[in-house]
Amino acid sequence: MAYRNEDGCHFEHIGDDIKTWCLGDEATCFNMAGGMTRMVENFLPLIFNWADVFHTLKANDICSTDEELISEYASAWGSICENAVIVHGMEPLTWNKDLKLDHINQSDFKKIKEGIQESQQILGKDCLE
């Protein structure tokens, strides 16, 4: 299913967006720098999102149509993703399908990440913070 939707869903572009953000903000991306601060500052939205997920998943959907179920679970998944964006510090990352980015394949990204982690170990844990 993912293969058939690859062009319409822009999976490669989304991945390039995330990788470009990651390489631009290494401390936040690789080390979760400021994670606790973000969680404290966004405590209420995090709680509201989890409450939304809980209420959606506990609902008795026995009489719902397939379209209603898909909509409800998409909403729950959206709330989970919103929390992930907050916790991981990805708020500055905005979707623009027309923005052209250089493609970074996964193996190159992994090598870059490993190089950054090795340099951190050599220089000390707090070099990116």
- 99 CB neighbour count, 10 Å cutoff: 11
- Asked if pLDDT for residue 88 goes beyond 70, the answer is yes
- The verdict on residue 68 lying in a domain is yes
**CA–CA–CA angle 88, 92, 98 (5° rounding):** 120
User: Angle, to 10 degrees, between the axis of helix 106-123 and the axis of helix 11-24?
Assistant: 20
Confidence (pLDDT) at 15 = 84
Mean pLDDT calculated for residue range 53-76: 89
Whole-number pLDDT of residue 116: 85
Residue 110: inside a domain: yes
| Distance in angstroms (rounded) separating the CA atoms of residues 26 and 128 | 7
Within-domain flag for 54: yes
Q: What is the mean pLDDT of the chain?
A: 84
Query: Looking at the domain assignment, is residue 49 inside a domain?
Result: yes
Q: Is the pLDDT of residue 79 over 60?
A: yes
Domain enclosing residue 112, as ranges: 11-32+100-129
Task: Assess whether pLDDT exceeds 60 at residue 97.
Answer: yes
Q: 49 and 24 in one domain? A: no
Query: Does residue 112 belong to any structural domain of this protein?
Result: yes
Helix ranges restricted to H, the chain: 6-9, 11-24, 26-31, 35-41, 43-58, 66-88, 106-123
* Domain count for the chain: 2
34: left (phi over 0), alpha (psi -120 to 50) or beta: left
Whether residues 21 and 40 fall in one domain: no
Which residue would you say has higher pLDDT here, 119 or 34? Answer: 34
Note whether 82 and 127 are same-domain residues. Answer: no
Please tell me whether residue 122 adopts helix, strand or coil conformation.
helix
